[in-house]
Each structure stands twice: as C-alpha cells, then as structure tokens.
Amino acid sequence: MDDVVFVSDCQVNLRLKASKTDIFRHGVIIKLFKTNNNICPYVQLSKYVTSRKMNGATDNDPLLVDSSNLALRRSLFIDKLKTILSHLGLNADKYSGHSFRIGAATTCSSNGIQESYDSNFRTLEI
C-alpha cells in the first residue's frame, strides 16, 4: 500500500518497484490524474485505498489482494477479468494482461504523451 502516494488533490503516484523491463530494478513512478470522467483513476484508487485501510490494511500490505487478503496473482486477475468481460457480452479471448499495456500506450499516444514517457507503461504487465 505504501507504493501509492497521493501527491495532491488531483495527482496520485503509483510506484512499481520492479518489472521485467527494469533490468536494474530501479522501479518506475506512474502518475495518475483526476480526469473528470465517469471512471477517474484518481478517484477510484482513492476509494479503493480508503476502503482497504478501513478494513485494516497497513502500508506494508500489498495493494491488490484476493479474498484472503493475499497478494493478487496475475492468473487470478486475468481469470476474473475474462469472467467480467464475458458477462458484459465481450469476447474475453481478445483480452490479456498485454491488452493493458497496449491500451496504455494507445492512450498516451492519442493524448500527445511522448514516447519516452509512454515506455513506462510497458512495465505494467498484469
């Protein structure tokens, strides 16, 4: 939980300690901002962190957990995601952890974010 830092009332930083593309394990900071959209990453993360802390989570606990409060495994995340997509009537076979990296890169590009910053999102393998 200590990898989430609310910098201001409109920015939250999410720190990834390491990833497969971070060969020196320096980590990376992902900045999320309020968007004023129906689904705002800042607002949703704030609600999630508040809820976790109200249920006893400490700064040393993992951010994403399963129903037993153990660190969420990638495979469980993908399985649940595919179940939700199927319930929404979408073809779940078209989505994977890689879909998130592609989506992040596309969003960066369409919003004029430089390629160097865009490369930070490639570390988000879920």
- Dump pLDDT digits (tens) for 78-116: 898 889 989 999 888 887 766 565 555 555 555 555 544
pLDDT of residue 26: 85
pLDDT tens, residue by residue, 34-62: 998 888 999 999 999 999 999 999 999 99
- Spatial strand order of the sheet with 4-6 comes to 4-6, 11-16, 28-33
Model pLDDT, residue 47: 95
d(CA 16, CA 32): 13
Q: What is the pLDDT of residue 106?
A: 55
What is the Cα–Cα distance from 62 to 72, expressed in whole angstroms? 8
The residue ranges of every structural domain in the chain are 1-61, 73-126
The greatest distance separating any two alpha carbons of the chain, rounded to the nearest whole angstrom, comes to 42
CA angle 57, 82, 39 (to 5 degrees): 60
6 pLDDT above the threshold of 90: yes
Q: Are the CB atoms for 49 and 62 separated by under 8 Å?
A: no
Rg of the Cα atoms in the chain = 15
CA distance 63 to 121: 18
Instruction: Give residue 48's pLDDT.
Output: 95
Please enumerate in sequence order all residues whose Cβ is within 8 A of that of 57, keeping only pairs 6 or more positions apart, or say none: 1, 65, 69
Could you say which DSSP state residue 79 is in?
H
Can you give the pTM of this predicted structure? Answer: 0.68
Given a cut of 70, is residue 121 above it in pLDDT?
no
